[in-house]
Amino acid sequence: MNFLKNTVMGLGSAFTSGGVGSLPFTVTDAASDESPVLPEFTLLKAKSKQDGSTVSVFKSQGPPCTLTQNCLRRIKTLRHPNVLAYIDGTEVVNGNVFIVTEEVTPLKSFLDDIRARNGPNSEEESLAVSWGLRSILSALKFINMDCKMVHGRVHPESVFVTKGGDWRLGGFQLTGELTMDGPFLLHHRSSGPKSLIDQELRYKTPGFPSLYSETMLYSSYILIIVEHARSDWSSIVSSSPHAIDMYAFACTAIHTFHPSFSSPSDLSRNVPSGLAGTIKRAADATASRRITPDHALQIAYFDSSWFIRQMLFLEQLPIKSSDEKADFYKELVASVDSLPKHTAVFKVLPALKAVVEFGMATGVGGKAATYKLDPSESQMLPAMVKIGAHLPVDEFKAQVLPTLVKLFGCNDRAVRVQLLQMMDSFAVHFDAKLVNSAVIFDNICTGFNDTMPLLRELTMKSVLHIADKLSDANLNQKLMKYFAKLQVLIVDPEPAIRTNTTICLGKVATYMNATTRSKVLLPAFSRALKDPFPHARMAGLRTLVACDEYFTLQDVAASIIPSISPLMLDISPSAIGSMQQYMVQIQQESANMKARELEQEKEGRLANTPGDAPVETAAPPPAASGNPSTVTSFDELDDFADDGWGHDDLDGLTSPLAAAPSLAPPPPSTGSYPSRASLSGVSSVTPPKPTESPASYFDDWSTSQPAVSAPRLSGLSLNKQPPPSTTTVVSDAAFISSKPRKTIHERKVEAKAKKEPLGASKLASKPKGGDNWDWDM
């Protein structure tokens, strides 16, 4: 009943377009045209209905026959890394034979693609062929020496290549024991039609009769024909299986280097010298002298190749020691760029991912955080990331990114250090949702509190690569708290970490919001300027200048310039240059402020220009002493006050304008006040007569009227305090006893002696009724 059911289902699938018998696969398109050399099968591409993975399907050209049935039976049982990997298969009654294998491509297509990209005899082709020939020898060793069988059809059309560049031996139509009833001898003893693979003319041995040329390809077929002519089949059965296949291997090897060769003895210059001797021994006319696959694998041509050594180590990776793995990973990182791209992406990368996946599986509950990778295995992460860098964005996210994301949850410090060091290589593939998730951001932030200084520093630097994707809360709140801890000396004693934190803070400033920048940047940079580590101070200064666009001129004048000033004698070249830049900004702003004030004053005057508008009287300037003046009109002041004494910067001179009613009179003195006559004796200039005022605050420069002298409250005279008194008028006796007033000539001499360093200042006023007062001070 089951047989009938399977037969009906198979027939239905066989006649359905795109069906692979009753198997859960769907044919997508043909991998190549029908091969004229292997007519029994057609190679197709298919896709699994379960997981969508791509596979290859060998579909027989006709109904099941002895050759196709034997191929299905042998490929099911022959399991070897260098043999075409069988996945599924079926034989449809009155239909076809379907064999599903790993995804492969014919050898001819593989080599043509390399030659089209790199030209003939390229380095990539040399590496691929050397590794491929060794793989075929390894498969023959397994079949001939371990299984004691003959393959029977070693030929370029029986070799297929995986996506990773591994050569696989297929075409098992004649594979079996070398006996009279074996498929190999049965096929060649029969008088039925032979395929084109049995009729190739260029592989016949010297002296072979042309009568039998239609049945020749390799020495296996040549031997059969020769022995067939003698009807001596027993000698074939008694020979070793490798004698037949090694001759065919020699022809296949020559074909890869020189496709147009005429015979096995035609070893052209394209064949490497290290392989030529082995090919000659494999193609020896005497079958008993042909080299075995085991001996051929030990030649220097295979042992001396760094590429072959790495590929062999990769296949044996699970059984290698930690020290051997560590050396291999270091060598692999250095040679990744020299690997063929298909080998690196589809062979090396999956092997490295398998190491990580195995480690994850050994954790408690399958969690990465509970598993600690072998120290040597953590060193393979750089190679993984470096290979992934050559992938398109979509392939990187599909093949590499999931493994890296899992590793972020690992507590192994060695793994975390490697991830943080390589963040710049793969962070570009992170999206904002993944970055702000607990898997990435929260696991990264654990490094800020780590006791290992290197891990803290790498954690801080890694933030630069994801800052543009961080959310507002993670960037402006959580991250700033961690940065503040790293910058404080008592929290993080490592000076390099404090220095780099300041630099990183300046680089992420562009991603902060305005509120955070105003609260964080200036205090952080000011703190860095006071750091005891010189490089930290230098970093603070340079970062401060680089971020000056975020500071106002009020910040510059009130905070930045005072903070930089102490550094002018510390890291003077940079500090002085920065100070000069900021001073230019302040000077420009000061000039702009004065221009704005003049413009506003001009606009105010223009507003009061109409005749009916009242004209406001300008208020008198404030007293130089800083106290409010009680004078309500300029008429109350002596004309002598217009000479500007109250506004000069001369030390020791008493300004009449500086006196106020609230100031106390000077203490009594025994000196006398000089009279007007005495003044005229010193100088020919006669001071003008003062205007009488009800409130006489200033003296009239005569002996008949007492005067009150107020001390100057500017410059060095600020230390002179007037004696406490409320008296505003003194008696003649007190006036006479006071210190005599200095003459004009004396004050002129004193003024010149104390001239300001910035240059001479002019005091020019014209009192009433007198000459011009032009003093060059």
Q: Would you state the structure tokens that stand for residue 694, as one six-digit string?
A: 């009800």
Q: Are 33 and 43 in contact (CB under 8 A)?
A: no
Q: Are 159 and 167 in contact (CB under 8 A)?
A: yes
User: Is the pLDDT confidence value at 668 over 50?
Assistant: no
Position of tokens 């008194």? 725
Distance CA 157, CA 106 (A): 7
Q: What region, left, alpha or beta, does residue 121 occupy, with left being phi > 0 and alpha being psi -120 to 50 degrees? A: left
Q: Are 134 and 297 in contact (CB under 8 A)?
A: yes
pLDDT at residue 611, rounded to an integer: 54
User: Is the pLDDT confidence value at 18 over 70?
Assistant: no
Per residue in 132-145, pLDDT (tens digit) is 999 999 999 999 99
Mean pLDDT across the chain: 75
Q: Would you state the structure tokens that stand for residue 200, as one six-digit string?
A: 């190739």
Closest C-alpha among 200, 227, 233, 230 to residue 215: 200
pLDDT at residue 749, rounded to an integer: 64
Give residue 132's Cα distance to chain centre: 37
Provide the 10 A C-beta neighbour count for residue 43.
Answer: 22
Per residue in 228-263, pLDDT (tens digit) is 444 456 767 777 889 889 988 998 999 898 887 766
Give the SS3 label for residue 651: coil
Burial environment of residue 615 by CB neighbours within 10 A (0 to 12, 13 to 18, 19 or more)? exposed
Question: If you average pLDDT over residues 70-77, what whole number do you get?
Answer: 94
Q: Are 168 and 83 in contact (CB under 8 A)?
A: yes
pLDDT at residue 372, rounded to an integer: 65
pLDDT at residue 731, rounded to an integer: 43
pLDDT at residue 411, rounded to an integer: 84
Distance CA 462, CA 423 (A): 6
Angle between helices 241-257 and 219-230 (to 10 degrees): 140
- Interior angle at CA 647, CA 646 and CA 650, nearest 5: 90
Most confident of 269-273, 490-494, 594-598: 594-598
Question: If you average pLDDT over residues 101-114, what whole number do you get?
Answer: 94
Main-chain phi, psi angles of 676, to 5 degrees? -65, -35
Distance CA 777, CA 760 (A): 5
Angle between helices 306-315 and 322-335 (to 10 degrees): 130
Q: Are 83 and 71 in contact (CB under 8 A)?
A: no
Closest C-alpha among 413, 489, 162 to residue 311: 162
Distance CA 116, CA 127 (A): 16
Residue ranges in 533-645 assigned as alpha helix (H): 534-546, 553-555, 561-564, 572-607
User: Is the pLDDT confidence value at 211 over 60?
Assistant: no
| Amino acid identity, position 668 | P
Burial environment of residue 604 by CB neighbours within 10 A (0 to 12, 13 to 18, 19 or more)? exposed
Q: Would you state the structure tokens that stand for residue 623, as one six-digit string?
A: 């007293």
pLDDT at residue 239, rounded to an integer: 79
Identify the residue with better confidence: 259 or 741.
Answer: 259
| Amino acid identity, position 607 | A
Q: Indicate the pairing of strand 97-101 with strand 19-20.
A: unpaired
pLDDT at residue 610, rounded to an integer: 61
B/e letters for 504-524, b = 16+ CB within 10 Å, e = fewer, are: bbbebbebbeeebbeebbbeb
pLDDT at residue 487, rounded to an integer: 80
Torsion of CA 568, 574, 578, 584, to 10 degrees: 90
Q: Would you state the structure tokens that stand for residue 54, as one six-digit string?
A: 């791509």
Q: Of the given ranges (183-187, 435-439, 451-455, 463-467), which has the lowest mean pLDDT?
A: 183-187
Structural domains of the chain in order of their starting residue, each with its CATH number: 2-105 (3.30.200.20), 107-306 (1.10.510.10), 639-711+726-777 (no CATH)
User: Is the pLDDT confidence value at 431 over 60?
Assistant: yes
Q: Are 737 and 671 in contact (CB under 8 A)?
A: yes
Angle between helices 453-462 and 495-508 (to 10 degrees): 10
Per residue in 625-651, pLDDT (tens digit) is 444 444 444 344 344 334 333 333 333
Position of tokens 């592989």? 203
Give the SS3 label for residue 225: helix
Q: Of the given ranges (92-96, 312-316, 340-344), which has the lowest mean pLDDT?
A: 92-96
Q: Are 149 and 175 in contact (CB under 8 A)?
A: yes
Q: H or E segment at 776?
A: strand 773-776
Residue ranges in 509-571 assigned as alpha helix (H): 514-529, 534-546, 553-555, 561-564
pLDDT at residue 178, rounded to an integer: 83
Q: Are 502 and 509 in contact (CB under 8 A)?
A: no
Q: Would you state the structure tokens that stand for residue 116, as one six-digit string?
A: 């089209």
